[in-house]
């Protein structure tokens, strides 16, 4: 009987183990099913949130589209109103300009800019290059002329040379009378430089002068030289480099019928910029011929001037009434074979 009881006890223990395993399996399957259900719930909630967010995004896009459409409508209304206003203004009659001179496109554009800034050029005349001839043109200007002796030396060369005459000053109070018998000449106007010695010259124009002072000086020059058309600067490195002062002077010169020829005594001169702002050609020296007082050097500079004229059609050379300069010019006829010597007013003209 003992072996059978052992067997029965073993069977019961085995049955207990099997029931325990089954219970554990059931619990595990239940946990797994719960976990799966939770995952599906979470995914469902995430999908719902995504759909809601997407719907909100679409709604915002519709609103922005509507707003942009409204803005476009408002803009079109404003444009329509502006057009109506412009049409009404264009119907207002305005006086036509009295002078019938041709105005270049660049000058028209500049005038518009000037009008915006409240600075309108006083005249509509422009300075332009004259028609070029078959040969390149060379202008030779002799500065610092103040005596009859100097003028006679220039005239004795029997060449087309333009004298630039000093206004009256201490040493030559009647220099303006030299111009009375001349058709082609210039005024050589003292202007402020970096040299205190040069600035002491009689009635030198300075950057500190008021507009009224500058205007009074130019009107005085007009009375002294009633037939003059051209003015160039004597020294003037400081004045021509001062945009404000030079612009005031340039406008007054144009008003009085003068053309400013820049002697270019400083590389940073503002005359080019100002001339172009007024629609004018920039009139300026190309070369000085007698910085050294000997004939070979002056001839070399004259050849250089001829080369410049050949390249661009014209050139302006400036010298002084030294005896050596007159001698060099008298012996330079072979140098001038390739160019046409002309007066300054044969290069530039007013329209």
Query: Is the same domain home to 81 and 117?
Result: no
Q: What is the pLDDT of residue 63?
A: 47
Q: What is the pLDDT of residue 205?
A: 98
SS3 label, residue 276? helix
The answer to whether position 174 is within a domain reads yes
The answer to whether position 223 is within a domain reads yes
The answer to whether position 100 is within a domain reads no
The answer to whether position 118 is within a domain reads yes
Query: Is the same domain home to 239 and 167?
Result: yes
User: Residues 316, 141: contact at Cβ < 8 Å?
Assistant: yes
Query: Is the same domain home to 154 and 280?
Result: yes
The answer to whether position 99 is within a domain reads no
Q: Please give the full DSSP string across 17-80, using - where no structure is assigned.
A: HHHHHHHHHHHHHHHHHHHHHHHHHHHHHHHHHHHHHHHHHHHHHHHHHHHHHHHHHHHHHHHH
- Mean pLDDT per segment of 10 residues, for the chain of length 351 residues? 48 53 52 63 71 59 48 48 47 39 44 51 53 83 98 98 97 96 97 94 96 98 97 98 98 97 98 96 96 98 97 95 98 96 84 55
Q: Please give the full DSSP string across 139-201, using - where no structure is assigned.
A: EEEEEEE-SHHHHHHHHHT-S-EEEEEPPPBTTBTTGGGGGGG-SS-EEEEEE--S-HHHHTS
Domain extent at residue 138: 107-350
Nearest to 233 by CA among 192, 272, 199, 202: 192
Q: What is the pLDDT of residue 10?
A: 52
Q: State the CB neighbour count (10 A cutoff) for residue 330.
A: 14
Q: Which of 56, 91, 126 is the last residue of a domain?
A: 91
Q: Token digits for 154?
A: 């220039």
Nearest to 253 by CA among 340, 123, 161: 123
pTM of the model: 0.65
Q: What is the pLDDT of residue 347?
A: 87
Work out the angle between the directed axes of helices 323-330 and 148-156 (0-180°, nearest 10). Answer: 10
Query: Is the same domain home to 122 and 227?
Result: yes
How many distinct structural domains can be found in the chain? 2
The answer to whether position 98 is within a domain reads no
Q: Token digits for 120?
A: 């309108």
Q: What is the pLDDT of residue 238?
A: 98
Q: Which of 34, 66, 91 is the last residue of a domain?
A: 91
Q: Which of 91, 123, 138 is the last residue of a domain?
A: 91
Query: Is the same domain home to 37 and 130?
Result: no
Q: Token digits for 156?
A: 């004795």
Q: What is the pLDDT of residue 43?
A: 75
Q: Token digits for 45?
A: 């909630």
Query: Is the same domain home to 175 and 307?
Result: yes
Query: Is the same domain home to 81 and 113?
Result: no
Query: Is the same domain home to 112 and 246?
Result: yes
Work out the angle between the directed axes of helices 211-224 and 243-255 (0-180°, nearest 10). Answer: 40
User: Residues 250, 283: contact at Cβ < 8 Å?
Assistant: no
The enclosing domain of 203 has a CATH number of 3.20.20.370
The answer to whether position 281 is within a domain reads yes
Helix, strand, coil share (%) of the chain residues, nearest 5: 55, 15, 30
Number of H helices, E strands in the chain: 10, 10
Distance (Å, whole) CA 215 – CA 137: 34
Q: What is the pLDDT of residue 161?
A: 98
Q: Please give the full DSSP string across 106-148, using - where no structure is assigned.
A: HHHHHHHHHHHHT---S----EEEPPP-SS-EEEEEEEEE-SH
Query: Is the same domain home to 202 and 290?
Result: yes
Query: Is the same domain home to 37 and 136?
Result: no
Q: Which residue has the tokens 């979470």?
A: 42
The answer to whether position 179 is within a domain reads yes
Query: Is the same domain home to 31 and 171?
Result: no
Taking the chain, what is the end-to-end CA distance rounded to the nearest angstrom?
148
Query: Is the same domain home to 136 and 249?
Result: yes
């Amino acid at each position: 009987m003992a072996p059978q009881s052992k067997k029965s006890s073993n069977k019961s223990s085995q049955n207990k183990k099997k029931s325990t395993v089954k219970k554990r399996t059931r619990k595990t399957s239940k946990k797994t099913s719960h976990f799966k259900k939770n995952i599906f719930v979470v995914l469902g909630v995430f999908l719902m949130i995504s759909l809601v967010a997407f719907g909100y995004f679409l709604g915002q896009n519709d609103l922005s589209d509507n707003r942009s459409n409204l803005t476009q409508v408002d803009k079109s209304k404003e444009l329509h109103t502006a057009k109506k206003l412009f049409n009404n203004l264009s119907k207002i009659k305005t006086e036509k300009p009295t002078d019938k001179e041709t105005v270049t496109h660049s000058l028209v554009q500049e005038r518009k800019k000037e009008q915006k800034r409240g600075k309108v050029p006083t005249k509509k005349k422009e300075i332009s290059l004259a028609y070029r001839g078959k040969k390149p043109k060379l202008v030779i200007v002799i500065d610092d002329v103040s005596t009859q002796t100097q003028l006679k030396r220039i005239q004795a060369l029997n060449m087309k040379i333009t004298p630039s005459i000093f206004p009256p000053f201490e040493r030559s109070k009647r220099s303006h009378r030299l111009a009375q018998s001349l058709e082609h000449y210039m005024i050589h106007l003292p202007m402020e430089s970096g040299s205190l010695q040069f600035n002491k010259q009689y009635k030198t124009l300075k950057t500190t002068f008021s507009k009224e002072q500058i205007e009074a000086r130019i009107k005085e020059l007009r009375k002294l030289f009633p037939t003059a058309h051209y003015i160039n600067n004597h020294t003037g490195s400081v004045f021509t480099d001062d945009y404000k002062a030079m612009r005031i002077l340039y406008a007054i010169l144009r008003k009085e019928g003068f053309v400013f020829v820049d002697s270019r005594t400083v590389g940073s001169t503002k005359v080019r910029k100002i001339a172009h702002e007024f629609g004018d050609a920039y009139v300026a020296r190309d070369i000085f011929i007698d910085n050294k007082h000997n004939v070979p050097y002056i001839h070399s500079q004259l050849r250089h001037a001829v080369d410049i004229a050949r390249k661009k059609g014209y050139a302006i050379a400036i010298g002084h009434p030294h005896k050596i300069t007159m001698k060099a010019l008298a012996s330079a006829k072979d140098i001038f074979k390739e160019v046409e010597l002309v007066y300054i007013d044969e290069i530039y003209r007013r329209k």
